[in-house]
Structure 1
Amino acid sequence: MDFPTHIVTVGGIIENNEGKILMVKHPVRGWEVPGGQVEVGETITDAFKREIKEETGIDIEVGNLTVVSSNIGIGIQYDGVSPIPTIVTFGFTGKAISGELTTSEESLEVAWVNRNEVLDLIDEDFTRDRTSYMLNYDGRVTYFVFSRNPYAIHGVQYLQ
């Protein structure tokens, strides 16, 4: 029996004092909210803070868990052979507390964007949907299950 393998990732909506949202332009995926993979031995909130700092130069205070998503589709790694395991992503809110915007290898551009313009920047359907759930957080955590290629939502639940 094979043991299940999951990649755990984090990302989220970071606001500044003017209510603008922090966005990064990834070299492959385009515009998205910042985030990335949780490393071995790291908590998801520590990973969230680290990823934001690495990709944008901004230090944050973690807010609420807003969305959990499961990508249940099996994809293929960049090597063209190895499967990509199921990906579970935790989405949070956060508040910028210090730092200056900087780019990294994972962020070609970094910007503070008006809240009502965020979704218009995002090209990938699943990224837009996940970000929409985070932007529209109403106190309930959204759990949604999807697959890619072709993109399909397999279920949405709102958890108290």
Structure 2
Amino acid sequence: MQTLNADINKLYGGSVRVRVGGVCVEQDRILLVNHALYGPEGTFWSPPGGGVRFGESAEMALVREFKEETGLDVEVGELLFVHEHIAAPLHAVELFFRIKSFIGNAEAGADPELSADSQIIREVRFLDWEQIQRYHPGQRHRILNMAASIEGIFELNKYISGS
């Protein structure tokens, strides 16, 4: 079993976190962020997103998170599904939205919660389904393992249990 990044464990371990994620597709490719969640060489591809702050709507949080992680300005579409992630020490309830449109060029951003020498965002890019499948299931967000294609992400159950 891989060891979780110590900074992520300290910030988010042992509590329930509400997160947002955006499914942004262009030309049959989905925008994903490569996080070093399991040490400096760890790979974990997931749609851009992050935590909702107190007093912030889910849509506002997603616009902010996209800007922080990818540099893109986005227009948030409809809620697609809810995914619950439970894998101690992390527990997150994730609200995934369709991204209707974006402006800018995708590039690796930063997590303001982490110090400059503890950043975990390694890469941001659009991947097609074949490229995604080259990664081990443990290197991909669970929703990428549950769908049979990029289009299949839009057809996932409205609630995906964490167990």
Q: Do these two structures clear the TM 0.5 threshold for a shared fold by scoring above it?
A: yes
Indicate yes or no: 2:102 matched with 1:97. yes
Measured in 2, the distance between the counterparts of 1:94 and 1:131 equals 20
Residue-by-residue CA offset, 1:99-154 (whole Å, 9 max, x unaligned)? 1222123421111112453354464378233674584223x7521112xxxxxxx3
Q: Which of 27, 33, 40 pairs up with 1:24?
A: 33
Instruction: Give 1:9's aligned residue.
Output: 19
- Counting aligned pairs with the same residue, the percent is 29
Q: Which of 70, 74, 85 pairs up with 2:84?
A: 70
Greater mean deviation of Cα atoms: 37-46 or 120-129? 120-129
The structure-2 alpha-carbon separation of the partners of 1:101 and 1:113, relative to structure 1 and needing over 3 Å to count, comes to same
The count of residues paired between Structure 1 and Structure 2 equals: 132
Question: How much does 1:96 deviate?
Answer: 3.5
Question: How much does 1:25 deviate?
Answer: 0.8
Question: How much does 1:71 deviate?
Answer: 2.9
Between Structure 1 and Structure 2, whose CA radius of gyration is higher? 1
1:1-160 equivalences under 5 Å are 6-16=16-26, 18-28=27-37, 30-73=44-87, 75-76=88-89, 84=90, 86-105=91-110, 106-121=120-135, 123-124=137-138, 127-129=141-143, 132=146, 135-136=151-152, 137-138=154-155, 142-146=158-162, 154=163
Report if aligned partners of 1:32, 1:122 keep a CA contact under 8 Å in 2: no
SS in structure 2 at match of 1:124: helix
Identify unmatched segments of 5+ residues in structure 2.
1-14, 38-42, 111-119
- Considering only aligned residues, what root-mean-square deviation do their CA atoms show, in Å? 2.7
Report if aligned partners of 2:45, 2:139 keep a CA contact under 8 Å in 1: no
Question: How much does 1:48 deviate?
Answer: 0.9
Measured in 2, the distance between the counterparts of 1:122 and 1:135 equals 20
Measured in 2, the distance between the counterparts of 1:131 and 1:43 equals 28
Residue-by-residue CA offset, 1:77-107 (whole Å, 9 max, x unaligned)? xxxxxxx5x4211011113421122212342
Measured in 2, the distance between the counterparts of 1:66 and 1:122 equals 25
